[in-house]
Structures are given as C-alpha cells and as structure tokens.
Amino acid sequence: MTKIGVLALQGAVREHIYHIEEAGAAGKIIKWPHELDRVAGLIIPGGESTTIGKLMVEYGFIDAIRDFHAKGRPIYGTCAGMILLAKRITEGDQPLLSLMDIEARRNAFGRQRESFEADLDIKGIGAFKAVFIRAPWIESISDGVDVMAEFDNIKVMARQGSLLVSAFHPELTGDLRVHKYFIEMVREV
C-alpha cells in the first residue's frame, strides 16, 4: 500500500491522515527526519509558516525534505505548506524549502476573520468547494509551473513536476479528490 507522510510540526495533521486513508493509501505521521525514509510522498499541512519553518530548521527537516524531493518523491503543501515550498515570498524573512518556482504572498486574502469558502474549477479534478483560512496566494510563477486553479483570477493551486501546492485546505472538506490526485502523483513515480 502507498504510504503518504504528513509533517507533524503544526496544522491539521489528523485531518490529512484521515483523507489519505479514506482515499486508499496509508497515512503516516512524520515527527522526525529519518521517518521520511518510510514514505513515498509527503504532505506539509497548513499552520503558521514562520513557526513551521523555524521548527523545520530546529529538527533538521530542511535538508531532509530537500533530499526527499531530490529522490523524486512527491510533496504537497497546503496553505503554509505552499509558502514553505515556494522559492520566494513577497515579504518577510523566514526559512523556506525553496523547491517550487513560485512566489507566494502570506495572508494574501486577509486575517482569520476574512476566511471563506469558494467554488473552484480544479484542472484534472473539476468543481471543488475550497476552504481558505488566512490563506496565501501565488503571486507569480516561472516556466514549468502549471496553474491548476484560480479564484477571482488569483492563482491558488499549482503543480510543478512532483510538487503540488494549494492555498486552501482540502483536508477540511468531505471531498477526497485532491488527496486522491496527490496519491496518484505518488503512485506514478
């Protein structure tokens, strides 16, 4: 069975594990870098990107996740995970994995009270009710990045090879299709 890890430094870890398992794969909580050897794909959940970045440095995850990616293993970042995977952010200074050729804007849609749900049309998936919480957006992309969804002409989901990001939280919906899409990415490697 395909094993998908969820980085357990902060965020909706349990919800991602549930979606992974309901979608037909095995979910594994990842608390230490050496545990990456046990999984074929990794999800970096939402939370506070600065805090997660600092914890990734403290626990040795930056190089471990970069090595994981260098081996061709897929990574999916949701919300803060999207920020951490970006090569650049529009403001601030925080640790980044710098793997995906995008520039992300933190809290682009506003603070907590501006959280919302929106109907998206996701390339390869279709209509999807997305949950945005203190969400970032993709400010700019480079060649080779495929935009998969937009909201009001703002890029909110993209893929570059074995990297997938979304500004929204599919784990907070009852819809498993984004997780199934990622699991298929992992199985294709």
Residues acting as catalytic residues: 79, 169, 171
Smallest CA-to-CA distance from 137 within 127, 125, 126, 149 is with 149
Please, what's the b/e burial string for 162-178 (b: 16 or more CB within 10 A of its CB; e: otherwise)? bbbbbbbbbbbbebbbb
Burial class (CB in 10 A: 0-12, 13-18, 19+), 25: buried
- Bridge partners for 103 per DSSP: 88, 140
Distance CA 166, CA 46 (A): 10
Encoding tokens for residue 99? 């793997």
Residues 143 and 106: beta-carbon distance below 8 Å? no
